[in-house]
Structure 1
């Protein structure tokens, strides 16, 4: 019993991530903890969304369809959050959906997991630390946030392919593995969920050419830079596209400009990132819980000699994001410094604090670098505000992030490059007005001057001006808070995410691929959610909240 407790729970008494045989990501203490009911999920969405989802779930169950997701990150970041929620929901609803991941960024994390899993006679995929740096560089280059001179060398490309291939043959293509043919126990449909793993696609197609493979791109890709033949982006994309082009469908965030010109538009479908309204990030917290997690945050600050939060005595502004070059953290600091200057001019003494925090993704080697740069910026440009700014890289704890977002006065998302940010959806759901940049999918989430404000990337003066409005105009704040809380679409919740994937799995199972001799599913840049609703003959009602549908002619990069 003691051994099991050590394996399943850490020093903070929070469940540890479990990665089992073949890299199978096992949510909720290895699927042992049952945290939700079907009725809980039904209560988070409208009747039309639920009925449409059940249409496809019933079909998947009848056909015994197996779905497998592959991504590099089992913990930290938006992809991991969505997959934890999707796996949990699929198991509850009875759909056979599995998620395979790998990567360990710290030797301690790897050793802890290996020891725990060996105790259970299980193994984990063989890690390659150098691959973390290479794949992160690829990520940064595609987003246009890397140094202009940075390139991915031929040797580095070979290393990534070798790493993917070795793991595939060792774990996923071996007997009864998820990449084996379906008649041998493999999955019927494969989803490659990030740009670190497209090297799997040629292997899958070599062994099972008629099995559908869907590639999902979850970052803001600078397609304008990819169109420049001599750019680093063009070189990296050529490397990735040599594998991705073999996929049967290309899923993107719902922004046409994120899709490079080489991707056939007939293959492209759109799907937003989602969050789970029942998990620790969003569920209602009692006052006692808020106090507990607030004390936990301040204890971590105290241990690291960082500024503690003084809430509820003082309000605070927050940006929750990974310490990543694309997240606009320098703009957040500049904006806060200008806002405080304006407060001083206006003789406002009751000033809020600023919180910059986030979890570190386990495949992100940039976090410590950006964290140090953040502290350097504060100390060099506005050292007098150091006592009012709290900068923390937090251990994974959903309820802690929930507490920080739900009690903030204003939430910032000042990214210079962004996909579709779930933290914005979570902030709006909590009734927090959001000040964000006009980049990526953020304009789809925020109605400018209704539930928040949109500014140009890097425009710290505009951010400061909006902060002044929100902290000095109570009527404006209450109106925006109400609009935020009541205007969140079903499309950004777990049930809708499941609806989209269940539809694709059932449709691909029926139609098959070009190699199977059947008709091919061609979305032609439609939203998967719309395709699923049409197929189920479930039209939208007049009172349903919908995300804006971008024009497919709009190719402007913000």
Structure 2
């Protein structure tokens, strides 16, 4: 059971005392979080820690998962992509399936809590099925800078019923949305198996079990196998780096139950990497084990995040916390974390040669990589730990419920 007291000596005692004080006016208040998956992806990881900590400080917080069909999750994945700018044929059938799954789920999900917090588009329409007697908050973890216009108009009809919308970047705020919008950066739990300290022996054991050799420097991207993460582009970067430095690429991917695109992307990467997979120069490693991800991020010389779009990207936050140098795309919430040249490197996602140049530079200059990693860890300590996120949630709940 995660407790706030566990974070003593990671954050100042004053921070913990302030959190306890913020929670006092919320004692016994009943809050429910709703999302579409309990594993895979940053939202589930955040909720796993956040809900326990909310309960520990005196808020009665629960967490429920929307039940949906394969067709529903294929539709909502296309919605996710379209909200980030992809094309979409928004048929009446898709709208009907989306509404029906939410309506069916509402029939056996009783919501009589003091506040309802809905995460991302999948359960957004639940609000239609209840007579509102409490504040509803929509927490959007997606990049909304250029959403598909027709889809946004459709979903906005549900969002209008909410009392507040929370975004991961001010760039995502919508001028055409007459609902209060609030900025809240995601965060990591430094005590989770993915982020806690691990011994050199523990790292070696995890890599050996996963079949990852330690004979060459590792370049790694940790992400879903998703077109927005551009794993094929990472392979192109690696090809250029390998001309300068003998190294190995690890694509450490996870699989979420609400993401049906993973297998398709896996096959595309296989075709792209081709012979390099056969020789072991490129490795596809299933990252559903948090301890394995931890070990790979710590052992890697450089973490790459060549995303085309990002809501925030906790994979970057995780690597920064571990003191590993990061080269990442200047998109979404990543520039909220990385200051180019100080605690990592930022490039435009299409700049393959630029990515290769920075990665090569860091492989050849380990002192620079170490300094970037040191600055990165301190950035996360100050801004992106779960204690700060808990404090933000308590502030929001106090404002909307009291």
Shift of 1:267: 0.7
Instruction: Using structure 2 for the length normalisation, give the TM-score.
Output: 0.95
Which position in structure 2 is the counterpart of 1:495?
Answer: 387
What CA distance in whole angstroms lies between the structure 2 residues aligned with 1:239 and 1:49? 41
Which position in structure 2 is the counterpart of 1:244?
Answer: 159
Please provide the CA RMSD for this pair. Answer: 1.8
Query: Residue 59 in 1 paired to residue 17 in 2?
Result: no
2:187 aligned residue (259, 274, 279):
274
CA contact (8 A) 1:429 1:488 kept: yes
What CA distance in whole angstroms lies between the structure 1 residues aligned with 2:327 and 2:278? 21
CA contact (8 A) 1:74 1:102 kept: no
The 3-state SS of whatever aligns with 2:229 is: coil
Which position in structure 2 is the counterpart of 1:143?
Answer: 84
Shift of 1:330: 1.6
The 3-state SS of whatever aligns with 2:80 is: helix
What CA distance in whole angstroms lies between the structure 2 residues aligned with 1:282 and 1:384? 28
CA contact (8 A) 1:331 1:459 kept: no
What CA distance in whole angstroms lies between the structure 2 residues aligned with 1:41 and 1:314? 35
1:323 aligned residue (225, 229, 232):
225
What CA distance in whole angstroms lies between the structure 2 residues aligned with 1:405 and 1:383? 21
CA contact (8 A) 2:3 2:53 kept: no
1:260 aligned residue (174, 177, 189):
174
Shift of 1:201: 1.8
What CA distance in whole angstroms lies between the structure 2 residues aligned with 1:357 and 1:474? 23
2:253 aligned residue (353, 358, 377):
358
Which position in structure 1 is the counterpart of 2:295?
Answer: 403
Encode CA deviations 1:448-467: one digit per residue, 9 max, x unaligned: 01111111112110011111
Shift of 1:372: 0.6
Which position in structure 2 is the counterpart of 1:201?
Answer: 127
What CA distance in whole angstroms lies between the structure 2 residues aligned with 1:475 and 1:496? 31
What CA distance in whole angstroms lies between the structure 1 residues aligned with 2:170 and 2:3? 34
**Quick check: which has more Rg, 1 or 2?**
1
Shift of 1:42: 3.2
Shift of 1:489: 4.1
CA contact (8 A) 2:66 2:123 kept: no
Shift of 1:238: 1.1
2:65 aligned residue (101, 109, 116):
101
Shift of 1:129: 1.8
CA contact (8 A) 1:71 1:192 kept: yes
What CA distance in whole angstroms lies between the structure 2 residues aligned with 1:340 and 1:58? 56
> How many positions carry a matched residue from both structures?
402
Structure 1 stretch displaced more, 479-488 or 277-286: 479-488
Query: Residue 473 in 1 paired to residue 357 in 2?
Result: no
Structure 2 residues without counterparts, runs of 5 or longer: none
2:356 aligned residue (461, 464, 472):
464
1:114-193 aligned within 5 A: 127-144=68-85, 146=86, 148=87, 150-169=88-107, 171-172=108-109, 177=110, 179=111, 186-193=112-119
Which position in structure 2 is the counterpart of 1:414?
Answer: 306
The 3-state SS of whatever aligns with 1:58 is: helix
CA contact (8 A) 2:217 2:247 kept: yes
CA contact (8 A) 1:46 1:490 kept: no
What CA distance in whole angstroms lies between the structure 2 residues aligned with 1:325 and 1:255? 24
Which position in structure 2 is the counterpart of 1:220?
Answer: 143
1:434-473 aligned within 5 A: 434-473=326-365
Structure 1 stretch displaced more, 80-89 or 498-507: 498-507
Shift of 1:255: 3.1
1:79 aligned residue (36, 40, 43):
43
Shift of 1:281: 0.9
Structure 1 residues without counterparts, runs of 5 or longer: 1-33, 104-126, 180-185, 227-232, 299-308, 511-558
Encode CA deviations 1:371-419: one digit per residue, 9 max, x unaligned: 110111112xx6488521101234x221111111111111011100001
Structure 1 stretch displaced more, 452-461 or 84-93: 84-93
What CA distance in whole angstroms lies between the structure 2 residues aligned with 1:478 and 1:279? 23
CA contact (8 A) 1:77 1:322 kept: yes
Which position in structure 2 is the counterpart of 1:388?
Answer: 281
CA contact (8 A) 2:253 2:284 kept: no
Shift of 1:143: 1.1
The 3-state SS of whatever aligns with 1:487 is: helix
